[in-house]
């Protein structure tokens, strides 16, 4: 009995030991299995790797390199010539004269810019037709009066632009290579189309026979050399209560006429008959300021109110 009682505890200890060894073996085996698995990274390492892996998997394949289209504000601005309408017709009086484009050999110099120009811009070649009329003594809608120089022309109604073309010197070229320089002294009313010039017979004959009647031409604005100075003339009926003022002999087209008042310079209203009016007589008989399309200003003083008398000055606009 004593021996039996001794053997039983020994068997229990051995069973417990076997179980402990088995449990340890299973633990070791599980550890080995876990260590050998590919996704057995520690949580901290796996968490750090997942964002980068996610970025790589979600990024689209790189597209072929392309040039980005410039934003509208960086696109080349069209030149004034390109803004003009196509070949003008009598049914589109609002169209600009059709330009053939400015010279491409060099950019327009700063001295050639004309911020106050209207429809007719310098250094732009326009396309139109030329007809002819009997200029008689050379006078016309610009009211410059008779002139022995009959190299004159009438500008179509649209490009006449309320007498803004008056006094402009225009170089006209025909398809045969012939050319003539004319001064705008008249207006060609509708249906004269934008771009059209109605030349005196004398000027037209420099380009083609009068029998041709109508020929295609190109033309451009000039700033000619001249020894003459600007003259001022008050309109008939002018006084200190009302006056009309006209400038003659200006090298470049005239943009503004102003009179000096107590508060500064006052701009006068331009008429279709090429006079600038002061309906209340403000500034009549006082200093004048003339501005051409290039922005140059000339101040003229001491011109008395002498209606219908051409009074010379000592000033002239610069050549461009």
Confidence of residue 25 (pLDDT cuts 50, 70, 90): low
**Residue 271: Cβ within 10 Å count:** 15
The CA distances from residue 117 to 79, 128, 139, 190, in Å, are 14, 20, 24, 22
Q: Three-state SS for 18? A: helix
Q: Three-state SS for 128? A: strand
- pTM strictly above 0.75: no
pLDDT in tens, 86-109: 333 333 333 456 565 433 323 333
pLDDT at 113: 84
The CA distances from residue 124 to 44, 85, 88, 217, 256, in Å, are 75, 14, 16, 14, 22
Average pLDDT value for residue range 283-300 = 97
Residues contacting 149, CB < 8 A, separation 6+: 138, 183
Query: Of how many residues is the chain composed?
Result: 320
d(CA 32, CA 244): 112
Smallest CA-to-CA distance from 189 within 157, 227, 223, 147 is with: 157
Mark 128-161 as b/e (b = at least 16 C-beta within 10 Å). Answer: bbbbbbebeebebbbbbeeeeebbbbbbbbbbbb
pLDDT reading at 260 higher than 70: yes
pLDDT in tens, 116-170: 999 999 999 999 999 999 999 999 999 999 999 999 999 999 999 999 999 999 9
Confidence of residue 272 (pLDDT cuts 50, 70, 90): very high
Average pLDDT value for residue range 55-63 = 36
């Amino acid at each position: 009995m004593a021996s039996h009682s001794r053997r039983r505890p020994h068997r229990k200890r051995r069973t417990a030991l076997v179980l402990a060894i088995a449990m340890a073996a299973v633990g070791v085996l599980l550890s080995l299995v876990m260590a050998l698995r590919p996704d057995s990274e520690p949580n901290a390492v796996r968490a750090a790797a997942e964002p980068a892996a996610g970025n790589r998997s979600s990024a689209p394949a790189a597209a072929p390199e392309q040039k980005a289209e410039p934003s509208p504000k960086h696109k080349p601005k069209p030149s004034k010539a390109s803004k003009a309408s196509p070949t003008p017709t009598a049914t589109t009086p609002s169209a600009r004269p059709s330009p053939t484009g400015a010279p491409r050999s060099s950019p327009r110099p700063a001295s050639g810019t004309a911020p106050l120009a209207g429809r007719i811009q310098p250094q732009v070649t326009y396309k139109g037709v030329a007809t002819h009329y009997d200029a008689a003594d050379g006078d016309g809608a610009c009211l410059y009066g008779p002139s022995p120089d009959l190299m004159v022309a009438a500008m179509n109604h649209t490009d006449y632009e309320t007498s803004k073309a008056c006094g402009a010197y225009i170089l006209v070229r025909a398809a045969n290579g012939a050319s003539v320089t004319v001064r705008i002294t008249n207006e060609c009313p509708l249906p004269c189309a934008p771009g059209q010039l109605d030349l005196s017979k004398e000027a037209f004959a420099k380009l083609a026979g009068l029998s041709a009647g109508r020929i295609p031409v190109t033309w451009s604005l000039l700033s000619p050399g001249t020894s003459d100075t600007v003259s001022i003339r008050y309109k008939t009926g002018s006084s200190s209560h009302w006056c009309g003022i006209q400038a003659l002999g200006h090298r470049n087209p005239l943009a503004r006429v102003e009179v000096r008042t107590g508060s500064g310079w006052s701009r006068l209203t331009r008429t279709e008959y090429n006079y600038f009016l002061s309906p209340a007589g403000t500034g009549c008989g006082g200093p004048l300021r003339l501005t051409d399309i290039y922005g140059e200003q000339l101040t003229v003083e001491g011109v008395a109110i002498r209606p219908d008398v051409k009074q010379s000055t000592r000033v002239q606009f610069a050549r461009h």
